[in-house]
């Protein structure tokens, strides 16, 4: 796509795009109009690299000649708003943060990390999760077990063993031996202040972020015995499918 050189009507356009050029973008089906100077606002960003000075963008174009970025464009408007005005988004902050990471707009990433909406998530919750061994792997196992139990059922339950401390490891086998061959997904132990309930809240948040409806409750045996739940051991995570 070549744009005319507005400085001289009878002159051919110079190589590359001019910083004053108006650019139309198709971001995953969402159409935006902006300027090259806006896209190049942060020279070390991926957007600036896509539209580097002195050369044509190495992007495909759609049927109407708009540069095409093959990514969901739902929150791209918030990215442009920041580039134009430095205003931070007030809605869908986590989603915009993910877009800022993708386009490597470091100033926006830093400001969003410092915002009230993300500070607790990145500095508090994510730092805690990173101290729980194999948290993400166990989350995958949890979902896989629940899906396997969902055949012809409205609910499926997965037993979760939460071990808060190293001392709890010694009691783990005794608790699990009473479960009569039920599969158990174990989390912990960890070295951080949050409690077992805090961990269960994290699990619930991350599972629901994947679109599932879930709740947790203390696990009790068929004989009515309630396993220790004050700060650890056995809980039941219940998935609701319909």
Q: What confidence score (pLDDT) does residue 56 get?
A: 74
Q: How far apart are the first and last CA of the chain?
A: 50
Within 13 Å and on the Cβ side, how many CA atoms surround 129? Answer: 19
For residue 1, pLDDT over 90 is answered with: no
- What is the four-CA torsion angle of 87, 91, 93, 98, rounded to 10 degrees? -100
Nearest CA-CA partner of 237 in 166, 160, 179: 160
Cα–Cα distances (Å) from 27 to 34, 99, 173, 189, 228, in that order, read 12, 12, 53, 44, 52
Domain spans, the chain:
22-114, 132-240
pLDDT, tens digit, 9 for 90 and up, residues 6-26: 333 433 333 456 656 899 999
Q: Provide the token pair at 83.
A: 């580039």
In the beta sheet, which residues pair with residue 236? 159, 217
pLDDT, tens digit, 9 for 90 and up, residues 59-108: 899 999 999 999 999 999 999 999 999 999 999 999 999 999 999 999 99
Within 13 Å and on the Cβ side, how many CA atoms surround 206? Answer: 18
Contact present, 174 and 210 (Cβ < 8 Å):
no
Helix (H, G, I), strand (E, B) or coil at 97: helix
Contact present, 233 and 168 (Cβ < 8 Å):
yes
State which of 42-56, 75-89, 167-181 shows the largest mean pLDDT. Answer: 75-89
Q: What is the pTM of this model?
A: 0.69
Q: What confidence score (pLDDT) does residue 117 get?
A: 86
In the beta sheet, which residues pair with residue 159? 184, 236
Average pLDDT, the chain: 85
Question: Using omega within 30 degrees of 0 as the cis cutoff, is the peptide bond preceding 189 cis?
Answer: yes
Helix (H, G, I), strand (E, B) or coil at 165: coil
CATH of domain 22-114: 3.30.710.10
Q: What confidence score (pLDDT) does residue 76 get?
A: 98
Please write down the long-range contacts of 117-122, taking CB distance under 8 Å and 24 or more positions apart. 117/93, 118/93, 118/94, 121/94
pLDDT, tens digit, 9 for 90 and up, residues 215-224: 999 987 654 4
């Amino acid at each position: 796509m070549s744009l005319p050189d507005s400085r001289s009507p009878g002159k051919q356009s110079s190589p590359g795009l001019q910083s004053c050029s108006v650019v139309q973008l198709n971001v995953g089906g969402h159409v935006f109009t902006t300027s090259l100077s806006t896209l190049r606002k942060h020279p070390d960003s991926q957007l600036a690299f896509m539209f580097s000075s002195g050369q044509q963008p190495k992007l495909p174009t759609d049927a109407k000649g708009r540069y095409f970025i093959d990514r969901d464009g739902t929150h791209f408007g918030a990215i442009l708003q920041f580039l134009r005005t430095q205003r931070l988004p007030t809605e869908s902050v986590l989603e915009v943060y993910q877009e800022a990471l993708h386009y490597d707009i470091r100033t926006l990433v830093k400001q969003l990390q410092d915002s009230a909406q993300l500070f607790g998530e990145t500095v508090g919750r994510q730092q805690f999760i990173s101290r729980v061994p194999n948290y993400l792997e166990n989350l995958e196992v949890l979902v896989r077990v629940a899906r396997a139990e969902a055949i012809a059922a409205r609910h499926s339950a997965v037993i979760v063993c939460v071990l808060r401390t190293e001392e709890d490891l010694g009691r783990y086998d005794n608790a699990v031996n009473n479960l009569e061959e039920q599969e158990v997904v174990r989390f912990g132990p960890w070295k951080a202040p949050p409690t077992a309930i805090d961990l269960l809240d994290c699990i619930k948040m991350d599972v629901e972020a994947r679109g599932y409806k879930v709740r947790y409750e203390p696990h009790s045996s068929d004989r009515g015995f309630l396993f220790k739940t004050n700060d650890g051991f056995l809980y039941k995570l219940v998935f609701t499918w319909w």
